[in-house]
Amino acid sequence: MIRALAVDIDGTLTDHKRQICPASIEAIQSLNVPIVLVTGNTHCFTRTMAIVLGTPFIFISENGGVVSHSDNEMEILADLDLCEKAYQELGKVIKLHRHDSRYRFTDITLQRDFDVKVATKQLQAIGLEVELIDTVFAVHIKDARVNKGTGLKCVAKRLRIPLEEFAAIGDSNSDIPMFELVGFRASVGNASTELKAISDYVAGDYYGRGFFEIAKHMNEYGML
């Protein structure tokens, strides 16, 4: 039995233009378990999405760097200074274009106009504990010691719900760490090949319609 859902936002609840899909809202309204939003986006964006979708103020943002336990309690798990140092060092050898980060607490986002594999090798040579995550919408420089999985562990402990009683739904490789922890994994049709490979269920439909399909599947099979 699944007692809670960990759900990515961009590419999972939204369409290819990052607009929320009506099907996602309909699906969320049909679910009777807590939904924990888990995203690479900012805390303030995720809080707004929680209000719009009617989900709890218990969520994970910045790829696990920030965990919200309530509207009055936020926990920082990652080190922004480490990412800043990596950005400065990487910028010496690769031309980078940084997104506006004034709302971010723990990571740095970059335009997807450089070779991530080459940049990753450069960071490995520097020896900093950071990693690059391509979420399709941006490339994140993040603290390698945290991810969506470490964020979910933190939330699960506070909620007193075993990780095996969570389901995770997503679309990109940044969702893999939380997929590796939970009892049921489902990916939308537009998900990465790597994520689909470790999924228990892969939706035939894409984006928010795919999430709707997954929610329907879970309800029909009595998983919720």
- Residue 121: which CATH number? 3.90.1070.10
Q: Are residues 71 and 152 in the same domain?
A: yes
Verify whether residue 134 is a known catalytic residue. Answer: no
Q: Are residues 208 and 183 in the same domain?
A: yes
Q: Are residues 20 and 125 in the same domain?
A: no
DSSP string, 99-146: PP-TT-SS-EEE-S-S-HHHHHHHHHHHT-SEEEEE-SS-EEEEETT-
Q: What's the token pair of residue 19? A: 């607009």
Q: Are residues 88 and 72 in the same domain?
A: no
How many helices (DSSP H) and strands (DSSP E) are in the chain? Answer: 8, 11
Rounded mean pLDDT of the chain? 95
- State pLDDT tens for residues 117-129: 999 999 999 999 9
Task: Write down the catalytic residue from 8, 79, 143, 175.
Answer: 8
Range of the domain at 8: 4-77+146-220
Would you give the DSSP letter of residue 77? -
Q: Are residues 65 and 150 in the same domain?
A: yes
Domain total of the chain: 2
Which of 97, 118, 143 delimits the end of a domain?
143
State the pLDDT confidence band at 100, using cuts at 50, 70 and 90. confident
- State pLDDT tens for residues 10-54: 999 999 999 999 999 999 999 999 999 999 999 999 999 999 999
Q: Are residues 192 and 97 in the same domain?
A: no
State the pLDDT confidence band at 135, using cuts at 50, 70 and 90. confident
Strand pairing class (59-61; 66-70):
antiparallel
Strand pairing class (4-7; 35-37):
parallel
